[in-house]
Each structure stands twice: as structure tokens, then as C-alpha cells.
Structure 1
Amino acid sequence: MMRRRLPIGLYALLLLVAAGCIGYLATRHARTFDWSAGDRASLSAPTRAVLQKLHGPVQIVSYAAPGGALRPTIAAFLQRYEAVKPDLSVRFVDPDANPAAMRAAGIEVAGEMVLRYDGREEHVRELSEDALTNALERLARGGDRVVAFVTGDGERRPDGTAGADLGLFIKPLAARGVRAVPLNFSQVGQVPQGTQLVVLASPQSTLPQAAVKALVDYVQGGGNLLWLSDPGAPHPELDPLARALGVQRLPGLLVDGQGAALGLKDPRVVALGSYPPTAITQGLVQTTVFPQVQALASTSDTQWSAKPLLRSSPQSWTELQPIDEQHPSTIRFDPDKGELRGPLDFGYALSRLSPSPDKNEQRAVVIGDGDFLSNAVLGQAGNRTLGERVFEWLLGDDALIGVDRAAAPDRMVRLSSGGLTAMAAVFMIGLPLLLLLLGVGIAWRRRRR
């Protein structure tokens, strides 16, 4: 009997020693492991990228009363940020101690956080990673980035809800410090000072000469520009802007015979799964979809460095003939009519030394399709990702390019009534019965000894 008890006691002693060693090491070497799907229990890649952009201490003051679960919940939530950025400090203030001071500080809800960085501050009233990270990104930007959208000539509206508008794309950017403002050249003669980017999104009517001149002057003065040019109306009045950028718009509609292999029945829809190497497309593996595309070409008589951004397949061409809406797949390539065989570029990333003394580099992007960012098409594959990369590059936020902002996988478990019944039977009847049978079996074996 003693020989049997000795190994058991030794095993227990070794187990206690091992537990003590683990506890000792845990107090001195903190390690966390996230095995959740998409690492959703850890800070996301966009959050870590934003924290890396904050070169200096960040102070977070939370107005949560002592006692209760709110203050510990906020502290535990912010520990993940402190682990990534050691110079991020957290302080709690009791809002009941001085209500007048709380009202003067603009505190509206219990637990509200005030973020301070480099003399600026942001308020966060929602305890979520998206809300806090968006506030940190606004601090990193140094204020709102003003993006002016040309209006008054049928362009896509940044706040519109129609299928052709860009409201669904712009709204998340607004939460991250991108402020979209209208720019109507019938009301102003030039691009206002302080504008970081001008967007010309698919005008439907002819732009006045004064508007074109203002855009050309803005580009020649060093301003950044995003031009979404759709096929159809040629808009010859925009030729001076195209010459200023060193870009030529090719006639016809770019069609792609490769779409059939991807399940696309309409050759007017161009789908891309690979991209020319640029700072915008580096690491981009998502498929993007472009409903109607105008091919572009780059001229070499400018100071711009033009890098192809979007390129069609070798099975594509510029269709110059009208396309039958009922049978679009009946079109054929006809070089005798001046149609050009692909691959053809329909997007360019342009950069050059800025003529303005206020910045080093000037950037512009020209894309021969505006539908890919529209409300109707934005949900297709990687369209939003590409659009965000374009904006981040144009606004100079290179550290955020390529950061995947994909949402965490769905954590909802949806079961039918039959599935719920089966699960209840397993846990309420099957599992207790199994444990009972195991207990009876163990007792029977001990009695036989």
C-alpha cells in the first residue's frame, strides 16, 4: 500500500511545483494568445497601424464613477492599446465629484473617454474598437482632411443615396477624419485653400470653361486630384485637364472576354484579380469589379511619373460599335474599325515633385470608371478596399495602405427548431445519462476488485 501511495504523493508534489513555477513565470513574463477566428479578441491590424503613426504619448481620460462594473470594463478594454503603445496612459475621473466641470468639458455619457495627443483631443462615447481607433486616426491626421467633390454638373454625390452616388463609400471615411465638402465652381472661382484633395466624379453635363480652368490651375499649382472618368460622353472640354495630367482617354467601351471564365455573362463588366505593382495595389489580392470602363493611355511629354494602376486582360479590347443590350456577348473584336486589343490600362497613379513649396510630392489618380465606388456596386468583392487605398495614397496616409479593414467573421449561430431540440436533448438528457453510465461502470469495476 505504501509503495502505491508514494508515487501518488510524488506526482502531487511535482504538480504543485510545476504550478508554482508557471505562476512565478506568469508574474514576470506576460504572454497572451488569441485563438479566436480572425484574431477578433486582439487589436486589429488597422488599429495597430494607427497606433504606430502616433509618434508621442497619448493620454486617455475616462469619466467613469468608481464602483460598479463600468470602470473595470473600460480599463480591461484599454489594456490592449497600452500593450501595443507603452506611452499610452489611462486615467479615470469621477464625474460625480464636480458635475459643473464635467458639463464644461462636454461630457455627455458615463464612461466617456477624452483622447489627447499633440495638443489635440477627441471625445469617444462608445466603447468599441472602431470608435476608439477612428478617434485615434483623426488625431494622427492632425485634423480633418478636407476632400472637395466637384458638383453642379451631374457628378456623383458624396452624400447621396442613389445607386450612382458615393454615400456608402464616403460615410466610413468621414468617421476617420475625411471631411467631404461640395465644390461648385459657379459659386467659387478656384479651389479653396486648405483642400487636401479634389474629386471629379463622372460629370454628366459639360463643365463650364471656368470650372475646367480652375481644375487645371489647381493641378498645376500642386493639388492632389482623383478623376473618375466614365465612358460615353467624350467631354472634350476636359482635354486641358487630361493634358495637364499626361493622360489620354481612349474612345469606345473597354470590354473583356475573360469575364466568362469568372462567371460574368456581360463582357462590359471588367473583373480584376491581379494588379500592376504600385504603392496602392501592393498586396491587394481581392477581386474588383468595374461595370463600364474607359481605357486610358499615358503620354510621355509631362513631368509626371505615371504607373499603371488597373489593367485589363489580353482578351479585352475597345469596342467602338453600339452593343446590343439583349445580347451583349455577340460583340467581336474588329481591328479594321480602329478597335484596340488589350491588355489596356484604365487606371493610373501619377506622382511628381510638387510645384507647391508647402509639400514635397504631388499625387493624382485617374480611373476610367466611377461605378466601382457607387452605392450600387460598392459591395462587390474588393471595390471598397481599392477605393480606400486610393484615398489613403492621395491623402498621404501611406502607413495605412494595405491594412485589411475586413470585418470579423459572423459569430452568430443560427439553428433551426429541430437543431435546437437536438441540442437540448444532447445536453439535458444525453450528457447526464452518459455521466451516470460512466459512474455506474466505475463503481461496478471497483466492487469486482
Structure 2
Amino acid sequence: MNISFMRRLNGWLFALLVLLGAGAIGYLTARHDRIVDWTYNSRVSMSPETRAVLAKLDGPVDIVSYASPQGDLRQTIAAALQRYQKAKPDLHLSFVDPQQDPAAMRNLGITVDGELILHYRDRQQRLDTLTERSLTDALERLVRGNDRIVAFVTGNGERRADGVANADLGTFASQLEQSGMRAVPLNFSQVTSVPEHTDVVVLAGPQAALAPGATKALVDYLGNGGNLLWLADPGNMDASLQPIADALGIRVLPGELVDASASALGLKDPRMIALGDYPPSTITRGLTLTTLFPEVAPLAEIRRSEWQLEPFLRSSPQATTQSLDGSATASLKGPLDFGFALSRLSPSPAKSEQRVVVIGNGDFLSNSYLGNGGNRALGERIFNWLLGDDQLISMPPRGAPDRVLKMSQGELSLLSIAFMIFMPLLLLVIGALIAWRRRRA
């Protein structure tokens, strides 16, 4: 009798403790918001890039949502922005009912229920779709200011900013536009000079010689304080490009780099140059990702000038050069530079500093190689430096680690058998063991 009573008492006490524990958990969670993300790189939480962008905004950000009070849209938007407000307390959200003043909504161009307008200082950005990616891009554009004009030279077989071919730069250019840069073509058969208000000119590996007028326009652009990115592939250096190299005091050396140590990294082609360490420079400071450069032309400084030259891409000591037909050029031994960042006081009174980047390879930003290692992150750093947006150079790289689980057919079959056969058998054994122990009690 006493044993039966004690068992019932223990059961009631256990149930009471469970209820008290559940009540305590509910009480604490209602008053203390604590979220822990154990996923790799905290991928389901606010990304490091978003936090870095919020840290660059050194003033209040006002977000106005033109959402109807009917339904749950306002609650959804407020919940989505709550974690941003925790990271940046001076980010304010307000709502406007678009049905109260339809004429004002038409003047503002509001066409989507819930559309957002972000205000920061004297800048603003619009959003009609609220995701972390779209909001982070909008915040980055607020940091950057007005859209920057990036002109890609065309008409001589250069890599196209809107192209989808393997060697083109279409994927990277579209990502630049998400960050507040606008890619436009620059064809010197249609214009005689670089248009005013161009922030950066990109000369991406012309396959044919530039016309004399195009060469003069680019040299004049440099002389007037323009910023330039020159992607000089091996074998593309001809007499039409020599005046540009002379204006910068550099030389694109003949041949291409080869590195016998590439096989240790799993690279079968010694012309693939992989970098994990970089010379100290503003562009690569803090960059720990490995970058991959196929078919690289080495560079050299030929004379001292008013340009301050900073190498930021350099091969390993094991690298050497070979001619384009594969014969060795023993006179050039590593380490060899193939990326220069040049700066000087700007001849133009409109800005204080002029910046140029020359790289002996254009494939690393192409559609084929952009996704390798840190290629995209390095490209973004280069453009941020050229545009003078130094506060954005150290931004964490975009994107999340690969979420695809690669398995062989044998591993997939073993996993299927484990879940379909062994797991049910294990549960049956455990159930039988529990039933046997209860009958013995």
C-alpha cells in the first residue's frame, strides 16, 4: 500500500515539476530574448556582411513602409526589421497608409503594398522586396552614396560587362550594380573622350589594337585624374597600349607565369597561379581567402614617377616565366608581381587622389572563374579602392558556404538503408527491451 502510494506521489510530483519548469521557461523567454545560431558561419542569422554595413552607417537610418494597416503585412515587416534595430538602435521604422493620400503615393511612385523607402542623411533607396540580401544591398548603396559610373571599354574584343560567355564579366558586373555601381559601355568609335562623371574606366584585355583616338582618349583621361582598372592578359600587349603603360611608369613583361608548386595544391595546370598570401596593401589587408589566376602576365615598374606604386599580387618564389608557346624564359624567376595599385595626387581639382589598378590577368573576374575562392571578394575590394570607398574595402565577402551535400552513390545507398531498415529495427529493439523490463517489474 505504501509502495503504491509512493509511486503515485512520485508521479504527481514529477508532473508538477514539469509544469513548473515549463512555466519558468515561458516566464524567462517572455522577458529575455536570447537567440543562439549554431549553424556554420551563423548562416541563418544576420550575416557578417550585413553587420559590417550597419557599422558603416554612422548616423540614423529612417525606414518608411507604405503598407496597408489591413492584414499582417505591417507585423511581418516590423518583425523582419527587428534584428536590424537590435544591431543598430538608431534605425527607425514608421508606417504610412497608402490609401490615405493616393495622389501623394503616385507622386512618390509607390506601386507595391509594403514598399520601403530608406533615408540616410540626404540619400534614399527604395525596396519593393524585403530580404536580407536586398536590404543589405540597399544599405550598402546608402553608404556609397550616388550610383558610381563604371565604363567598360568595348569595340576591340574586350571582355563584355553584359556578356554571358565564359571569358566575359557579366556575372561580376551584375553584382557590382547591386552594390551601387552602374556598368556602361564605352566605345571610342562613338565618342572621342571619356564622358564626364565617369568614376572608373575598365580596360579588360582588348584582343585587337586600339585605334589611335582611343589610346589618346585613355591617356588624356589618366592625365586629367581619371581612375582606371587595366586587366592586361598575356599576349595582349601591343603598341597601342604602350602609351598607357608609359603614362603609369610600368611594363607588362612578355610571357606568362608558371608555378611548379601548383601541383601540391591539386592544380594540374602550372599556369594556374593560386595565392593565399598577399603583400601588405590597402586592397588585400585582412584578405585570407585563396584567389586563383589562370594565365598571368608579370608586371614590372620601369621608372620612378609621381605615382605611388604598391604591389598587391605576387607569385611564389617557385614561379618563373615561359613564353606563350611553352618555352622557358630562365631570366625571370619568382617572386614576380602581377598586380599593381597606383595612386597620386589628382591633377583634377574635383578630387584629391587618383587611383589605378593594373593586373596581369582578367580571367579571375570572368564568368568561369569568379566563383573560385576569394576571386569575387578581391574584385569587390579593387573597385571599392578605385572608387575611394575605403570604408567598404574590409567588408566580409558575400555569400554563404556551399550548402550542397556531395555524396557518392554507395554512400547514398548506405544512408538510405540506415534510415529505412536499421533505424526502424533499432526502435523495435528498444521498444521490446522497455516492454520486457516493465513485465519484470
Please give the range of the TM-score, normalised by the shorter of the 2 chains: 0.7 to 0.9
Runs (5+) with no aligned partner, structure 1: 324-330
Q: Aligned partners of 2:296, 2:21: CA distance in 1, in Å?
A: 70
The one-letter code matched in structure 1 to 2:65 is S
Percent of pairs identical after alignment? 55
Count how many residue pairs are aligned between Structure 1 and Structure 2: 432
- Alpha carbons 1:313, 1:342 under 8 Å: kept: yes
**Secondary structure, aligned partner of 2:84:** helix
Closer/same/farther in 2, CA of residues 21 and 341 from structure 1, 3 Å limit: closer
Cross-structure match for 2:346: 354
- Report the CA distance between 1:180 and its aligned residue: 0.6
Q: In the alignment, does 2:261 pair up with 1:258?
A: yes
Q: Aligned partners of 1:296, 1:97: CA distance in 2, in Å?
A: 64
Closer/same/farther in 2, CA of residues 21 and 124 from structure 1, 3 Å limit: closer
The one-letter code matched in structure 1 to 2:292 is V
- Report the CA distance between 1:232 and its aligned residue: 0.9
- Report the CA distance between 1:24 and its aligned residue: 6.8
Closer/same/farther in 2, CA of residues 191 and 48 from structure 1, 3 Å limit: same
- Alpha carbons 2:162, 2:170 under 8 Å: kept: yes
- Alpha carbons 1:113, 1:125 under 8 Å: kept: yes
Cross-structure match for 2:80: 77
Q: In the alignment, does 2:390 pair up with 1:387?
A: no
Q: Aligned partners of 1:171, 1:117: CA distance in 2, in Å?
A: 24
State the TM-score, normalizing by the size of structure 1. 0.84
Cross-structure match for 2:395: 403
Per-residue Cα deviation, 1:176-234 (whole angstroms, up to 9, x for no partner): 11101111222222222211111111111111222222212221222111011111143
**Secondary structure, aligned partner of 1:340:** strand
Instruction: Select the residue among 205, 212, 215 that pairs with 1:212.
Output: 215
**Secondary structure, aligned partner of 2:149:** strand
The one-letter code matched in structure 2 to 1:397 is D
- Alpha carbons 2:273, 2:293 under 8 Å: kept: yes
Q: Aligned partners of 1:442, 1:411: CA distance in 2, in Å?
A: 44
The one-letter code matched in structure 2 to 1:365 is V
Instruction: Select the residue among 154, 157, 162 that pairs with 2:160.
Output: 157
Q: Aligned partners of 1:108, 1:396: CA distance in 2, in Å?
A: 35
State the TM-score, normalizing by the size of structure 2. 0.86
Cross-structure match for 2:295: 292
Q: In the alignment, does 2:271 pair up with 1:273?
A: no
Q: What's the RMSD between the two structures over aligned residues?
A: 3.3
Q: In the alignment, does 2:56 pair up with 1:64?
A: no
Cross-structure match for 2:251: 248
Instruction: Select the residue among 285, 293, 305 that pairs with 1:302.
Output: 305
- Alpha carbons 1:148, 1:183 under 8 Å: kept: yes
**Secondary structure, aligned partner of 1:290:** strand
Per-residue Cα deviation, 1:81-104 (whole angstroms, up to 9, x for no partner): 111111111112334444454344
Instruction: Select the residue among 196, 201, 208 that pairs with 1:198.
Output: 201
**Secondary structure, aligned partner of 1:86:** coil
- Alpha carbons 2:258, 2:272 under 8 Å: kept: yes
- Report the CA distance between 1:70 and its aligned residue: 2.8
- Report the CA distance between 1:419 and its aligned residue: 5.2
Q: Aligned partners of 1:321, 1:425: CA distance in 2, in Å?
A: 59
Cross-structure match for 1:142: 145
Cross-structure match for 2:335: 343
Cross-structure match for 1:48: 51
- Alpha carbons 1:49, 1:399 under 8 Å: kept: no
Cross-structure match for 1:111: 114
Cross-structure match for 1:38: 41
Per-residue Cα deviation, 1:46-92 (whole angstroms, up to 9, x for no partner): 21222222232211122333354432222111011111111111112
- Alpha carbons 1:42, 1:80 under 8 Å: kept: no
**Secondary structure, aligned partner of 1:165:** coil
Q: Aligned partners of 2:413, 2:112: CA distance in 1, in Å?
A: 40
